[in-house]
Amino acid sequence: MADATLTWLGHAAFRLDSPGGKRIYVDPWLENPKCPDAEKAPERCDVIAVTHGHDDHVGSTIELSRKFGPLPIVALVELKGWLKENGAQADDLPGPNKGGTVEVEGISFTLTNAFHSGSAPDGSYGGEPTGIVVGLEDGTKVYFAGDTCVFGDMQLIGRIYSPDVAVLPIGGHFTMDPREAAVACELLGAARVVPCHYGTFPLLSGTPDELKRLAAGVEIVALEPGGSLEL
């Protein structure tokens, strides 16, 4: 199998290329101001995973599914229903709920808790926000926290899923800031952490350098938009 890579596309959008050659987009808001031009028109897409219904996370989900679908979309049951009702070309499997796992060609997607507000892009009910643990074909696990504050049960996520990499928001205001993210690092016990949801707008003022200072002993991998981490 090839090495898996995690590529930051700005804000909370990521491309995850699995060891088995699958291309997964997580929270694909590819119109965000930090997304590199070369990443705004994907050449292929095998799976889309969405943590919650805010438009800066749903992003290009419907458009990508129409271009490459029908394809698997992993999202909370209410949100997946909304996506399909609004034109997404998705598979017929109902979306899971928190604690549920979806298997897609050797890759697992498990929804976890997250603490945040939630609605679909049009303001209608889209279910609660979630985190997502992605288990790749080679056993590597990546935890996408989604938009959340820190919460004590992150310790359970660490205990149950043992993520190798945790993707955490650090911008503050709408999510946790570096101070809370440092505690999240401790609770999760992940060896490597990739910060996101910062710098998109001035309001999201948390920085990776501040997280590095507060989370001593944790490898903080601060990617540039378009940059990749080998997993």
Q: What is the pLDDT of residues 73-96, one digit of tens each?
A: 999 999 999 999 999 999 999 999
Is 101's pLDDT higher than 90? yes
Is 50's pLDDT higher than 90? yes
Q: Provide the pLDDT confidence category of residue 2 given band limits of 50, 70 and 90.
A: confident
Strand blocks (E) in the chain: 5-8, 14-17, 23-26, 47-49, 73-74, 101-104, 107-113, 130-135, 141-144, 165-169, 192-196, 219-220, 228-230
Give the Cα separation of 144 and 57 in Å (integer): 12
Query: Span 134-148, mean pLDDT?
Result: 97
Mean pLDDT of the chain: 96
What pLDDT sits at residue 3?
Answer: 87
Is 1's pLDDT higher than 80? no
Give the Cα separation of 112 and 154 in Å (integer): 9
SS3 57: helix
Assigned token pair, 80: 């997946």
What pLDDT sits at residue 226?
Answer: 97
Give the Cα separation of 5 and 118 in Å (integer): 29
What pLDDT sits at residue 7?
Answer: 98
List alpha helices for the chain, DSSP H. 55-58, 61-68, 77-85, 154-161, 178-188, 208-214
What pLDDT sits at residue 93?
Answer: 93
What pLDDT sits at residue 105?
Answer: 84
One-letter amino acid of 13: A
Domains of the chain are: 5-224 (3.60.15.10)
Residues making up the chain, counted from first to last: 231
pTM for this predicted structure: 0.97
Query: Span 4-14, mean pLDDT?
Result: 98
Assigned token pair, 181: 């993210």
Is 59's pLDDT higher than 90? yes
